[in-house]
């Protein structure tokens, strides 16, 4: 399994060795698109896709842009490309970054006992729909270890109690550093992360919340939704911040339900929504389609 995974990664890297993305946010003003396009043209790049969004087209707002391009013999030119772009970034007061498609992001998945979100990520990864290197899975319970190991992925059981939480998080952070993790995904990991943990991966931890935020935050959401007789249920994927379940939202979805559905029906339907919402959010992060700002996100999809 490991050799198959490595071959898949090598094939993708070879296929995308000349592909990169440029993500920009800056005050909206004339000339941004022209300057960026001219820069890429003069460096021999071919633009494959360009998306842009103005927060306030009348002026005074922010401008966002994502450009995907190819550049022959890109590998080895990254440092020069970024240095050459610095004057444009300074001219327009940009927050900007280049992301290179052949740099496969390393992912850690955190999970507790429920397996539906974990399995969706593993299935999509195995099918090649999620281009990432799932380096390890961490859980506060041992239950899913055999399942994960069937995919050839290391599984680490690190129990967490109120008394051992700090020690457990230190072990987890050590693993993330050891595996050089780029993004962590909480696939129904039923633990609240400490501010110290979150600070180590700012806007690089993705969570799935079992409701259409901000409704039914907390325990037993489906039972409470059933008691209220809701007509839609949903799920929300967001970046994790120090404010519980209030980080920048990446993706949401809902499913219509009726009075005839039981609480168990709502859980079953909810699991399906959670799986798809989380998988989309993770894919967009891996493809550098998200620009966070003001506790919001611009998602070019």
Residues 6+ apart with CB under 8 A from 135: 106, 107, 108, 153, 154, 179, 180, 181
Question: How many C-beta atoms surround the C-beta of residue 214 within 10 A?
Answer: 10
Catalytic residue of the set 115, 245, 253, 265: 245
- Give the whole-angstrom CA distance, residue 62 versus residue 54: 6
Q: Which contacts of 59-63 are long-range, i.e. CB under 8 A and separated by 24 or more positions?
A: 59/28, 60/28, 61/27, 61/28, 62/25, 62/26, 62/27, 62/28, 62/293, 63/24, 63/25, 63/26, 63/27, 63/28, 63/29, 63/32
- Give the whole-angstrom CA distance, residue 105 versus residue 176: 13
CA dihedral in degrees (169, 171, 176, 178; nearest 10)?
A: 160
Look-up: residue for tokens 């633990």? 191
Pairing of β 46-54 and β 232-239: unpaired
Look-up: residue for tokens 């090598």? 10
- 3-class SS at 25? strand
Residues 6+ apart with CB under 8 A from 219: none
CA separation, residue 138 to residues 162, 183, 280 (Å) = 18, 13, 21
Whether 245 is catalytic is: yes
Which residues are annotated as catalytic?
Answer: 245
């Amino acid at each position: 399994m490991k050799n198959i995974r490595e071959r898949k990664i090598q094939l993708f890297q070879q296929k995308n060795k000349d592909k990169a993305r440029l993500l920009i946010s800056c005050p909206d003003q004339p000339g941004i698109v022209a300057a960026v396009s001219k820069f890429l043209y003069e460096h021999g790049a071919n633009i494959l896709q360009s998306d842009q969004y103005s927060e306030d087209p009348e002026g005074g707002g922010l401008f966002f842009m994502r450009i995907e391009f190819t550049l022959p013999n890109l590998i080895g030119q990254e440092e020069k490309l970024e240095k050459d772009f610095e004057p444009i970034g300074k001219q327009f007061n940009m927050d900007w970054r280049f992301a290179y498609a052949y740099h496969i992001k390393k992912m850690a998945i955190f999970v507790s006992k429920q397996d539906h979100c974990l399995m969706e990520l593993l299935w999509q990864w195995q099918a090649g729909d999620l281009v990432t290197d799932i380096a390890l899975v961490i859980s506060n319970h041992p239950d899913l270890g055999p399942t994960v190991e069937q995919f050839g992925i290391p599984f680490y059981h690190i129990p967490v109690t109120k008394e051992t939480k700090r020690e457990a998080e230190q072990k987890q952070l050590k693993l993330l550093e050891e595996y050089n993790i780029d993004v962590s995904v909480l696939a129904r990991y039923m633990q609240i992360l400490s501010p110290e943990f979150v600070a180590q991966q700012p806007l690089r931890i993705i969570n799935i919340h079992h409701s259409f935020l901000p409704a039914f935050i907390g325990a037993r959401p489906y039972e409470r939704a059933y008691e209220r007789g809701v007509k839609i249920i949903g799920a929300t994927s967001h970046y994790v911040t120090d404010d519980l379940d209030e980080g920048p939202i990446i993706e949401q979805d809902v499913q219509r339900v009726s009075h005839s559905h039981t609480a168990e029906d709502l859980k079953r339907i909810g699991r399906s929504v959670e799986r798809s919402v989380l998988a989309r959010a993770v894919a967009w992060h891996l493809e550098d389609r998200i620009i966070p700002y003001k506790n919001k996100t611009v998602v070019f999809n």
